[in-house]
Amino acid sequence: MINMTEGPLNDILVLDLSRALAGPIAAMMLGDLGARVIKVESPGSGDDSRTWGPPFVGPDEDPQSSYFMSANRNKESIQLDLKSERGKEVLRKLIRRADVLIENLRPGAFDRLGFSAEELERLNPRLVLLSITGFGHDGPEGARAGYDQIAQGEAGLMSVTGSPETGPTRIGVPIADVLAGVHGATGVSAALAGRARSGRGSVVRTSLLAAAISAHTFQGTKWTVGSQVAQPTGNHHPQIAPYGSFRCADGFVQVAVGSEAIWQKFAPVAGVAPADPRFALNPDRVKNHSDLVATIEDAFVTQSRADVLRKLNTAGVPAGAIRTIDEVYTWDQTLSQGLLIEVDHSVVGPVKLPGPSLRMETADGSSLLRSRHHAPPALGEHTVAIENWLDESSDIDSYSGCARLTAPSSSREAPDPTVFEPVQ
């Protein structure tokens, strides 16, 4: 029976063989939902993102990457050299016990290590495999390595981001990686539900390209239906006005005037006559957008951000501040949603991390998710404990759940050559 205080996936074992971001995010999301996640890492080096920084935290002799921490909470870490027979045998033992395996190697790399789809099915017919690539597993460019910024450019996201003055601009977070992880976790959840009926596993595939294109929304149909190629418009919506950011005396506010009813409420706050023929209807406001923005900023630039937001809120106009990252994590609303958590890292000690975005509750408000979270692991932190567990749990047919590790292993394997090819 599932212990719902630990999450609906608490009887699921996930092997995370991915590196960098898309795969680790998918695995972390499953871990947030209660799954036991074992991260398999190259001896000595581990996940690429362990070296990405600054900032690093912890002692100089063992610095820990804040980047790595962003995508690896609620996981254990085992070091395995998959070019060695011993490492492959340990992985086979893990696969026999696993429900999900996540990898984001180049197409064919996992096969060359001896773990083709056929071999995985032989080891565990119930296994769900999530494979994430840069540009898809087939097609004329399926073999390309994929990194987020490259995918943002190739998938058109950069062409609609920025302004006419800046030209194409990278989105400030690795959005293709993040969305690929989200789509991957969604696919795995569906595959697990399907397995409950069929008794057999399946292969889930996604890519940075697919994830980025999935975010096109109206910019995609603007071309596919309307035959218009979208251009960057900065912080203002190309088809709705006013819908964007405006300068105040001490920062920026954003407004979303998404209907004529809201325009009637907004115009007096901005010192505009609602029936002004330049701005009376949305097509007029879009046509005269430059004049509209200048008029609004003339009204707002002498006022504080707080005063403008208070007036807009009183008038019933959807609006918000443009917050800096530090403001976000000290905002009462962020804290009320559980979006900042504190965990005890084995090397660094107490650290605060962004929390999971999903909540699940009963009708009376009782949480159905984890009651506590675990810090991202140090490299190889759980190697000995996991190998001991594998040796002690030889009867895999009776396996029905995953014991959680509560203490780090005190020993680590000696560094060996890295085994993984470049990730997607």
pLDDT single digits (tens) 326-348: 999 999 999 999 999 999 999 99
Average pLDDT score over residue span 153-171: 94
Distances (CA, A) of 258 to 240, 255, 291, 395: 7, 9, 19, 60
Tens digits of per-residue pLDDT, 232-254?
A: 988 999 899 999 999 999 999 99
Tens digits of per-residue pLDDT, 275-317?
A: 999 999 999 999 999 999 999 999 999 999 999 999 999 999 9
Domain co-membership, 208 together with 285 = no
pLDDT of residue 400: 40
More confident residue, 40 or 144: 40
Please tell me the number of Cα atoms within 13 Å of 135 on its side-chain side: 16
List the domain range (segments joined by +) for residue 290: 258-317
Confidence tier at 352 by pLDDT (50, 70, 90): very high
Domain co-membership, 345 together with 307 = no
Distances (CA, A) of 323 to 28, 48, 177, 257: 26, 30, 23, 20
Statement: residue 227 has pLDDT above 90: yes
Tens digits of per-residue pLDDT, 57-94?
A: 999 999 999 999 999 999 999 999 999 999 999 999 99
Choice among 11, 47, 148, 177 that is catalytic: 177
pLDDT of residue 2: 35
* CA angle at 36 for the pair 61 and 27, rounded to the nearest 5°: 75
Average pLDDT score over residue span 374-381: 97
Tens digits of per-residue pLDDT, 104-135?
A: 988 888 899 999 989 999 999 999 999 999 99
Tens digits of per-residue pLDDT, 207-217?
A: 999 999 999 99
Domain co-membership, 75 together with 198 = yes
Domain boundary among 288, 317, 346: 317
Domain co-membership, 76 together with 149 = yes
Confidence tier at 395 by pLDDT (50, 70, 90): low
Is 252 domain-assigned?
A: no
Is 331 domain-assigned?
A: no
Domain co-membership, 66 together with 176 = yes
Is 249 domain-assigned?
A: no
Statement: residue 411 has pLDDT above 50: no
Nearest to 99 by CA among 123, 81, 115, 83: 123
Statement: residue 272 has pLDDT above 50: yes
Domain co-membership, 193 together with 305 = no
Task: State the DSSP H helix or E strand holding residue 255, giving kind and residue range, or none if neither.
Answer: strand 251-256
Is 24 domain-assigned?
A: yes
CA 202/CA 193 separation, integer angstroms: 11
Is 127 domain-assigned?
A: yes
Statement: residue 266 has pLDDT above 90: yes
CATH number, position 374: 3.40.50.10540
Q: Do residues 219 and 212 lie in contact, with contact meaning Cβ atoms separated by under 8 Å?
A: no
Is 183 domain-assigned?
A: yes
Spatial CB neighbours of 310, under 8 Å, sequence gap ≥ 6: none
Domain co-membership, 313 together with 347 = no
Domain co-membership, 45 together with 174 = yes
pLDDT of residue 217: 94
Statement: residue 407 has pLDDT above 50: no
CA 378/CA 339 separation, integer angstroms: 23
Q: Is the pTM of this model over 0.85?
A: yes
Confidence tier at 399 by pLDDT (50, 70, 90): very low
DSSP 161-180: SS-TTT-S---SS-HHHHHH
Check whether the bond before 242 is cis (ω within 30° of 0).
yes
Is 413 domain-assigned?
A: no
Is 274 domain-assigned?
A: yes
Domain co-membership, 206 together with 310 = no
Domain boundary among 317, 348, 364: 317
Spatial CB neighbours of 87, under 8 Å, sequence gap ≥ 6: 80, 81, 419
Average pLDDT, the chain: 91
Confidence tier at 409 by pLDDT (50, 70, 90): very low
Domain co-membership, 348 together with 282 = no
Domain co-membership, 374 together with 292 = no
Domain co-membership, 211 together with 306 = no
* % of the chain surpassing 90 pLDDT: 83
309 burial (CB, 10 Å; 0-12 / 13-18 / 19+) is buried
Tens digits of per-residue pLDDT, 2-60?
A: 344 479 999 999 999 999 999 999 999 999 999 999 999 999 999 999 999 999 999 99
Per the structure, the count of domains in the chain is 2
pLDDT of residue 228: 94
**Is 298 annotated as catalytic?**
no
